[in-house]
Amino acid sequence: MRSSPSSPYLREISGVIGATPSPVRLSLPAKAGNIAVVRRALEAVAEELALPRRLVEDMRLAVTEACTNVVRHAYSGAEADQASALRVDLLPHARGMRVIVEDQGRGLGPSPDTGGPGLGLPLITTLTSALQVSRGAGNRGSRIAMSFAPAIEAA
Amino acid sequence: MTEAAASPNGSPGTTRVSIVSGPLVGPVLRRVVGMLAARADLPLDRLDDAVLVADLIASRAPAHVQSASVDVAVETGDRTLLLRVGPLRPGGGEALIVDASVPGVGNVIEQLADDVSIAPDGDSEYLLVRLAYSS
């Protein structure tokens, strides 16, 4: 049986977090196949934290959407092959997880399919407890910081 | 084991994962390596070998890294997987391999890998482990 969120696992991980800003960082080429790699890492951390299944599903969907945006829109040609084209930080905290998806490409723009804003960001907004969208490091690309926390059920 | 002079950061297309030493190293590294081994089209037995090597690195590397995190770059080719572990402190590559020995079994990393080498890089070094499948 998995441990509860107040388990020694979480306390140990929380201690680690206090010492460093990014417990898990993935730097990958911005390729569609690498979105599955990010999801695997996310699932591993969520499992270790014994996060609620519903929350993990929301996280998976939102992070997939954010990474897909990078793969589809941030780069052209060989730029996407750079090892740090897509950077994902997983930062567990006492009640959930913060995930930062960052690129060094063109940044956010209108969806090429619709000519206007796509459904990605509204979907991510719905799935997260907090969302920050800004320029990436060096004022290049985009940085999407998503916070996830379990919903508090009404008594 | 040989001494290599490979680029520590790997070639374009490399996936890098950095995990703070602690309980997340094993679960995250084994999943990432397993996923990339599958994508490199390694057959199931070699995929298992790759995951076992990842588990050993996850459990032994924290004692030999230079910083607070275990960094691994994974490069995939046609039925080939190259793991670059580091930066490690000087002597850390050899120590990590020795630590991976299991009584009665011997050195597991060296037995499973097709090639194991150490790449010096200034005041640090990298352990390079290559797993391949040749039909």
Residue A136: phi and psi, rounded to 5, are -80, -175
Task: Let me know: does B34 contact A44? Beta carbons within 8 Å.
Answer: no
Q: Is the pLDDT of residue A48 over 60?
A: yes
Q: The tokens 């297309």 sit on which residue?
A: B13
Q: Is B51 on the interface with A (CB under 8 A)?
A: no
ipTM at complex level: 0.87
Contacts of B41 in chain A (CB under 8 A): none
Give the minimum alpha-carbon distance from A145 to chain B in angstroms, rounded to a whole number: 19
Cα A40-A45-A49 angle, rounded to 5 deg: 145
Task: Let me know: does A55 contact A99? Beta carbons within 8 Å.
Answer: no
DSSP secondary structure of A67-102: HHHIIIII--GGGGGSTTSEEEEEEEETTEEEEEEE
Model confidence pLDDT, tens digit, residues B41-87? 899 999 999 999 999 999 999 999 999 999 999 999 888 999 999 99
Q: How far is the CA of A81 from the CAs of A25, A55, B5, B31, B81, in angstroms?
A: 18, 31, 23, 22, 17
Task: Return the pLDDT at A132.
Answer: 93
Chain B residue whose CA is closest to A90 = B19
Give the minimum alpha-carbon distance from A60 to chain B in angstroms, rounded to a whole number: 15
Tokens (6 digits) for A50: 């014994």
Q: What is the pTM of this model?
A: 0.85
Contacts of B33 in chain A (CB under 8 A): none
Task: Let me know: does B28 contact B71? Beta carbons within 8 Å.
Answer: no
Chain B residue whose CA is closest to A30 = B13
Strand partners for A133: A144
- Tell me the C-alpha distance between A75 and A69, whole Å: 10
Tokens (6 digits) for B68: 């607070």
Q: Between these two residues, A15 and A26, which has the higher pLDDT value?
A: A26
